[in-house]
Chain A
Amino acid sequence: MALRAALIRHLRVPVQTLSPAGRVSQPSVANSLFGSIRFMSSHDDHLSKEDVADRVLSVVKSFPKVDPSKVTPDVHFQSDLGLDSLDNVEILMALEEEFKLEIPDKEADKIDSCKLAIEYIHNHPMAS
């Protein structure tokens, strides 16, 4: 109890003094502070394309059957990396886990290169 009282005494809270005219003497620092923070705004939440590309490439490179030196943003899974359709599905599963997405079957069948994967994930609103 004594500690608490000592702490409260020790803390200095800035107090805005009202001048006799009733105007607040402190400039509106609070307003400018809160003006730069947009609460509940998801506009800046979206991933940048380089960020998406880096993470997609690292997922593809860490796939055991892939040769990491061949992986570029334009690489095609089956023709360049020598994978088959089963590997394609596995890579897409790994990408789903990385970005916490659910890719529907119809879209997943179309994605067969790094480029398409990066584009799809970048355009997906739920990617994180």
Chain B
Amino acid sequence: MASTSVSKGQILSLYRSLLRTARQFSDYNIREYTKRRTVDGFRQNRGLTEPSLISAAFSEGKSQLQVAERQAVVYSLYAPDIRSVMETNLKGKR
């Protein structure tokens, strides 16, 4: 299988898709974790120059995106009514 090199646009598009999928989670913890993990993961691999490593990281990212999309659907089926305390806007700090 001839591997075409991954372009910067594709990487940014994957990044954006992961962050958008993270927003769909109703659970605060999972949402924040997904955002944190994508930011950390992409930053960690930022300095890669070898095409094989880049495409390996890219395909790993794509499979993670598919996992996240599936889980977003599953979580939305059983979304809890109670929101996390981190999401409440406490006005008037003491």
Q: A residues within 8 Å of B by Cβ?
A: 84-86, 89-90, 92-93, 97, 105, 108-109
A89 near B9 with CB under 8 A, answer no
Contact of A90 among B8, B19, B23 (CB under 8 A): B19
A109 near B19 with CB under 8 A, answer no
- A-B residue pair count with CB separations less than 8 angstroms: 26
Contact of A85 among B12, B19, B23, B39 (CB under 8 A): B12
Q: Closest CB of chain A to B11's CB: distance in Å? A: 9
Instruction: Determine the chain B residues whose CB is within 8 A of the CB of A90 once the complex forms.
Output: 19, 39
Closest to A86 in B: B42
A97 near B16 with CB under 8 A, answer no
Within 8 A of A (CB), among B7-45: 8-9, 12-13, 15-16, 19-20, 23, 39, 42-43
Q: Closest CB of chain A to B50's CB: distance in Å? A: 19
Instruction: Determine the chain A residues whose CB is within 8 A of the CB of B42 once the complex forms.
Output: 86
Jot down 6 A-B pairs with beta carbons below 8 A, ordered by A. A86-B43, A93-B19, A93-B23, A97-B23, A105-B13, A105-B16
Which 7 pairs across A and B sit closest by C-beta, in order of nearness? A93-B19, A89-B15, A89-B16, A86-B42, A105-B13, A89-B12, A85-B12
B8 near A108 with CB under 8 A, answer no
Given A85-B8, A86-B43, A86-B46, also A108-B23 (CB < 8 A): no
Apart from A86-B46, A89-B19, what 7 extra A-B contacts exist at CB < 8 Å? A84-B46, A86-B39, A90-B19, A90-B39, A92-B16, A93-B19, A97-B23
Q: In the complex the two chains form, what is the Cα distance from A97 to B23 in whole Å? A: 9
Q: Closest CB of chain B to A5's CB: distance in Å? A: 41
